[in-house]
Structure 1
């Protein structure tokens, strides 16, 4: 007998193609869930787009038969919209959750074992209290960024290490490394004798990093991970860079400094384009006055803080890179992520900050906007997520790292050591 699944609203808002991931099953959607999806259809966000896409998808299925009796899907599943005619549908808060639990109990009493699929943690707890099986919606298991660091420490003998330190590559390298993975090579028994290197999979060669002391708009690397990060950010052949790590490790600062260097000094890109999802850490402040730039200022303030710090460091350099009006020059644009759909962005250096708050579908939408000659950087901390629909494993940044691990177009670095201040690093470790 095929398994029976009851799907919650948040599953479809997270992935509008969710029906395809339950082949050969009986899928049940309470009418209250359809009603709740309808409430999101006017949103200008990715959630609104997903709601409209799901509504059109279900509407097209009406041509295959009665949704009340069940229609056959291409993957062998059967979809039913279940209406409890004894209940009054008002569309209030909790209506969909109550309907899901009620439907689960009805099927359980009929001798079936339905499984509730929801990203609502409290609904899973309630279902368990009622003796119902409830699971999170997961498309596929993804390895987290603590496992996929993008770099590793290797011990080498004297001959290998001296070859790297003299600027020569290790050819026919014997090691399990991914394309553009970084290596901190150290002498066996002597950790202070070391060299930073990068693996080139197309030639199976490990090359030492040419310049580990480079100053970029007054910013220099303060640890090994930052050295790896700057190398990936400044390499034109790497089109996608993902940076993960806790607060204060320098993800956004390094990404912006490298972008400014390549725009104003190297003339490699036309503009620095920074996107940030509008996801509050605490309670939202409601509607904000002013035009778009004024409304976005509170959300984008961390970006402006980083830009101001880079400008102050650049001023200390003998040969300045940045113009005096860098805070307001047209080569820098800070925008909300909401309006990226439908765009094509060529010849630009793109930063997606706080990418851990994006769903995999939102990340796909972002990456597919990148035009010819552009480079895109996604930064985030998977341990600090404000989006209720994703977690440390299901968020778009983590899945992007996992999927692009073997691509020569991408590089990933997980930064471990905080450099913001001694107090910030201590707080990150203790709190």
Structure 2
């Protein structure tokens, strides 16, 4: 049975093509949504861009007929803009009196329900509006077209029970073939079925195709570590293997606070740029999204404004350089990140001005990628030029962007969409290594 979907403004701001994604059903935009889009269209960030895109789409559809009368969509559905009548507003409970946008949207949905035999569904990303709709007897849903099932999110690691001969063959022959469903560049722990202490770390060989089931042993890391950073657990070993593999241009790392996501990414990037000189520059960025209440505009030039936002990155550089000094080994690492920047080997910047750029032959790390929308991640990945490697790191439990959640953020979206791609690899890190206190806090709080 066909349905009537009433869309809230935040749905269109989240996905400007949302009104075209309801197949052959009827889509209704309350007139107050158009008014709200007009207020958002002048904002410079993605919200403003999406508001302008929706307005342009509606303007194009308007040329095909009357928006209030209904316009036939290519999907077979019907789109129209509905007016809010005062009489329906007066039917709302006293607590919902007034001309607020949410009340007008509720009134339109309520009127449609009274006039139509079709089920009427209010679609909103506003939890409170969905609750209000439910109390009025209206069906209400979240917009979930681009949401990922986080309960079944790809971890990038798995454990496989094998016999002892398989593990021995892995090291003697350099590869083995296993039965089962694997993903490209998936990290595997092979466990001897007769002796659980007999294990081997391996990766699915993406060059021969994931369907072949060809498994290769994990390459051993240098005794001195990567940029003097040692892998402290097997997930970090898997992460280093993907980060150091030039045939994998996209790596995603997810883990709770203190698991070493950013540190291993920066260590691998420094190694590839300064030691191996495989990439021309280490480029690091993170979205400018505050945690909690913002302190307002910051004084100074671009570098001074960015310092508070990029301080977590500087902390990781300090750890790498201090580790080198404590071991008493003099090298270019002791120059600090300032001199690496002066040499042109390191650049730290905000993501604000990345649109339109082409970034060739660089090791590009995007930290805190869980605060990005799917569209922003797409914009970043499409900036990659020839020979560039992109690393996305983040923790889906620490989202500060009010427009995304654990199921709809760009990092989760990229992990799920690229799990079948040979040019991508993913690892979920579990063990906290920052300190005992940080590890317990991440678990208990």
Bin of the TM-score, shorter chain as denominator length: over 0.9
| 2:258 aligned with 1:248 | yes
Q: 2:284, 2:367 within 8 Å by CA — same for their partners in 1?
A: yes
> Relative to structure 1, is the Cα distance of residues 418 and 341 closer, same or farther in structure 2, using a 3 angstrom cutoff?
same
Which residue, 159, 162, 165 being the options, matches 2:165? 159
Note the C-alpha offset of 1:140: 4.7
Partner of 1:2: 2
| 2:262 aligned with 1:257 | no
User: C-alpha separation between the residues in 1 aligned to 2:188 and 2:221?
Assistant: 13
Note the C-alpha offset of 1:266: 0.6
Q: 2:257, 2:442 within 8 Å by CA — same for their partners in 1?
A: yes
Secondary structure of the 2:297 match is coil
Partner of 2:337: 326
Partner of 2:303: 293
| 2:261 aligned with 1:218 | no
Partner of 1:90: none
Partner of 2:398: 384
User: C-alpha separation between the residues in 2 aligned to 1:395 and 1:46?
Assistant: 14
User: Which ranges of structure 1 fall in alignment gaps of 5 or more residues?
Assistant: 88-92
Q: 1:142, 1:399 within 8 Å by CA — same for their partners in 2?
A: yes
Q: Counterparts of 1:175-190 in structure 2 under 5 Å?
A: 175-190=180-195
Secondary structure of the 2:63 match is helix
Partner of 1:409: 423
User: C-alpha separation between the residues in 2 aligned to 1:6 and 1:135?
Assistant: 10
User: Which ranges of structure 2 fall in alignment gaps of 5 or more residues?
Assistant: 88-97
> Relative to structure 1, is the Cα distance of residues 200 and 184 closer, same or farther in structure 2, using a 3 angstrom cutoff?
same
User: C-alpha separation between the residues in 2 aligned to 1:212 and 1:187?
Assistant: 23
Moved more, 196-205 or 98-107: 196-205
Secondary structure of the 2:299 match is coil
> Relative to structure 1, is the Cα distance of residues 320 and 145 closer, same or farther in structure 2, using a 3 angstrom cutoff?
farther
Q: 1:346, 1:372 within 8 Å by CA — same for their partners in 2?
A: yes
Note the C-alpha offset of 1:193: 2.1
Q: 1:177, 1:199 within 8 Å by CA — same for their partners in 2?
A: yes
User: C-alpha separation between the residues in 1 aligned to 2:142 and 2:124?
Assistant: 5
Q: Counterparts of 1:171-210 in structure 2 under 5 Å?
A: 172-203=177-208, 204=212, 205-210=214-219
User: C-alpha separation between the residues in 1 aligned to 2:15 and 2:139?
Assistant: 21
Partner of 2:91: none
User: C-alpha separation between the residues in 1 aligned to 2:133 and 2:443?
Assistant: 35
Note the C-alpha offset of 1:190: 2.8
Q: 2:286, 2:351 within 8 Å by CA — same for their partners in 1?
A: yes
Note the C-alpha offset of 1:213: 5.1
Q: Would you say how many aligned residue pairs link Structure 1 and Structure 2?
A: 425
Q: 1:180, 1:411 within 8 Å by CA — same for their partners in 2?
A: yes
User: C-alpha separation between the residues in 2 aligned to 1:94 and 1:192?
Assistant: 68
Secondary structure of the 1:326 match is helix
Which residue, 410, 415, 418 being the options, matches 2:432? 418
Q: Counterparts of 1:303-318 in structure 2 under 5 Å?
A: 303-317=313-327, 318=329
Question: 1:36-82: per-residue Cα shift (whole Å, max 9, x none)?
Answer: 12222222212222121111111111111111212122112211122
Secondary structure of the 2:215 match is strand
Q: Counterparts of 1:26-425 in structure 2 under 5 Å?
A: 26-84=26-84, 86=86, 95-112=100-117, 113-140=119-146, 142-144=148-150, 147-166=153-172, 168-170=174-176, 172-203=177-208, 204=212, 205-212=214-221, 214=223, 215-317=225-327, 318=329, 320=331, 322=333, 324-328=335-339, 329=341, 330-425=344-439
User: C-alpha separation between the residues in 1 aligned to 2:290 and 2:357?
Assistant: 25
What is the Cα-based RMSD across aligned positions, in Å?
A: 2.0
User: C-alpha separation between the residues in 2 aligned to 1:101 and 1:17?
Assistant: 22
Q: 1:145, 1:398 within 8 Å by CA — same for their partners in 2?
A: no
Q: 2:325, 2:334 within 8 Å by CA — same for their partners in 1?
A: no
Note the C-alpha offset of 1:416: 0.8
Moved more, 105-114 or 147-156: 105-114
Question: 1:222-248: per-residue Cα shift (whole Å, max 9, x none)?
Answer: 000000000000100000001111111
User: C-alpha separation between the residues in 2 aligned to 1:361 and 1:81?
Assistant: 26
Secondary structure of the 2:247 match is coil
Note the C-alpha offset of 1:175: 2.5
Q: 2:324, 2:334 within 8 Å by CA — same for their partners in 1?
A: no
Q: 1:217, 1:260 within 8 Å by CA — same for their partners in 2?
A: yes
Q: 1:217, 1:320 within 8 Å by CA — same for their partners in 2?
A: no
The structure whose residues are more often helix, as a share, is 2
Note the C-alpha offset of 1:319: 6.1
User: C-alpha separation between the residues in 2 aligned to 1:39 and 1:272?
Assistant: 39
User: C-alpha separation between the residues in 2 aligned to 1:167 and 1:248?
Assistant: 37
Q: 1:167, 1:208 within 8 Å by CA — same for their partners in 2?
A: no
